[in-house]
Amino acid sequence: MDVEDFRKHGHELIDFIIDCLFSQEKELPNPKVETGYMSKLIPDKAPEDPDEWKDLLKDIQPVILDGITNLHSPNYHGFYPLRSSFPSILGELLRHCFETPTANWMANPAGIELEMNMTNWLGKMLQLPEEFLFDKKRSGGGVILTSASESVCTCLLAARTHTIREVKKTNPNLKDGEIITKLVSYTSAEAHPSVIKAGLISCIEMRIIETDSNGGVNTSALEKAILSDIENGLIPIFVCANLGSTGCCGFDNLNEIGAVCNQHKIWMHIDAAYAGSAFICPEYRYLLDGVELATSFNFNAHKWLEIAPPCSVLWVKNSKLLSEAFPVDLCAENNFDNKDKAPESPAEHIPVYRHWSLQFTRDFKSIKVWFQLRLMGIKALQEIVRTDISMAKLFESLVKEDNRFEIVVPVTLAVVCFRLKGTKKKTKDLLELIRADRRIFMIPSALNGIFFIRFVISSSKTTPKDVHFAWKVIQEKADQLPQQLIE
């Protein structure tokens, strides 16, 4: 493909995206394919000679579009939103023109400084305490990672390294492995599985603490577990608090957890993957009260702020906890002649991002943040959050009007957890009917043994009309359940 082909095909692809992808909202949210469908559509090895662009374009519909769950469908109410706005798609396109690693200032001054500025912009939008933002006088700051999973794992590994060093100050003969067996971390039963995975990766026991009936962690149980571990000679190092859990959008009490963590010098990480975006609206900021007690905070801007994935932002109050956790320079000395190497950063407050996380050849993610925030503005983003929550409230009111149903957890953001009154089987059977019908997409969840269906305002195309449509389908399917199941 030469430059002129690129220009021509680029325009054609944008037209294709607009004509095809963004008109798909009228289509069903579920994929249309059977298992193994692709082997009938594509050869089993790469072509020796180049294919034609027009043939590739023609194949996108059957190979790709027919085989994806259509999150753009206004009738998609599954998991959590994953949206890419037009400005952020354009930003994403542009960033691939500069594949300069955003590892350090020496390699990419624009990349480092834009990331610093964008994490500060976002931090201010979320009303994070100043300690989390870049400032010459402080050691806080943000970094753009790929995922909430990467974020919690990075923090847990950093907490592990920090504790090992602290323990060795008084017990220099202890081996790292011996210390690791004594380390413990904690999260709630509502935490995303990625938190459990972080425990597995770091070889640190992750204790699961019970939640209350609203999905928030039981802080007394957390404190009891921590005290009991200390009494047994173990070392609590990390608590992952949740704001907007995946299952029911439950919220932990950060003030209570923070008090316990600070008392016992435990790293408190906050996973606000979905809910974080809501804090750009002042009326939801109360959910973040206590964040000042946290060590780190993360949210996925690629969920509700409509920034093309991946764009997960992690902030820390003390960036040295990350940058000093993984001493890679020692290895680099062996590999390269570093005697005369230029400093990676021109000033102490400019981060060497390759030390902040797993990746070295970091990509230039801040461009799409810059595009999105400049071309949308804060007011429009607040409007998205508010509109979605108002539609969730509309759905909640429809559920409440039908006395066969009940709401399981108070509706805080754009997630409604509801069930048919009575046995679990009723709600399970209802969901099966809805799934077989395929006009709307929802997933089940459970809290403290109560099975329910999650209804999420997920697509940016959903309107109040679609909410009424979804409710009509749900009621229609409830009517079809065998009479003996309905009270």
Which residues of the chain form contacts with ligand PLP (CB under 6 A)?
A: 80, 147-149, 192, 194, 244-246, 271, 273-274, 300, 312
Quickly count: other Cβ atoms within 10 Å of residue 378's Cβ.
13
Least distance between ligand PLP and beta carbon 7 (Å): 34
Kindly give, in sequence order, each residue whose CB lies less than 8 Å from that of residue 188, ignoring residues fewer than 6 positions away: 208, 209, 210, 211, 216, 217, 218, 222, 241, 242, 245, 250, 252
SS3 88: helix
Hey, what amino acid is at 330?
Answer: L
Element (H, E) at 469: helix 464-480
**Cβ-based nearer residue to ligand PLP, 192 or 477:** 192
**Cβ-based nearer residue to ligand PLP, 163 or 276:** 276
Element (H, E) at 379: helix 366-401
Least distance between ligand PLP and beta carbon 301 (Å): 10
Residue 441's closest CA among 82, 70, 34?
A: 70
**Cβ-based nearer residue to ligand PLP, 56 or 201:** 201
Least distance between ligand PLP and beta carbon 12 (Å): 32
**Cβ-based nearer residue to ligand PLP, 148 or 307:** 148
**Cβ-based nearer residue to ligand PLP, 73 or 445:** 445
**Cβ-based nearer residue to ligand PLP, 120 or 300:** 300
Helices 86-95 and 366-401, packing angle to 10 deg? 150
Least distance between ligand PLP and beta carbon 440 (Å): 20
**Cβ-based nearer residue to ligand PLP, 161 or 246:** 246
Say if CB 63 and CB 42 are below 8 A apart.
yes
Least distance between ligand PLP and beta carbon 349 (Å): 28
Between β-strands 415-420 and 450-456, what pairing exists: parallel, antiparallel or unpaired? antiparallel
Q: CA-based Rg of the chain, rounded to a whole angstrom?
A: 24
177 phi and psi angles, rounded to 5 deg? -60, -35
Least distance between ligand PLP and beta carbon 365 (Å): 13
Least distance between ligand PLP and beta carbon 154 (Å): 12
Q: Cα–Cα distance between 116 and 111 in angstroms, integer? A: 9
Say if CB 317 and CB 132 are below 8 A apart.
yes
SS3 451: strand
Least distance between ligand PLP and beta carbon 257 (Å): 16
Q: Cα–Cα distance between 157 and 199 in angstroms, integer? A: 9
Strand partners, 350: none
Element (H, E) at 452: strand 450-456
Least distance between ligand PLP and beta carbon 275 (Å): 8
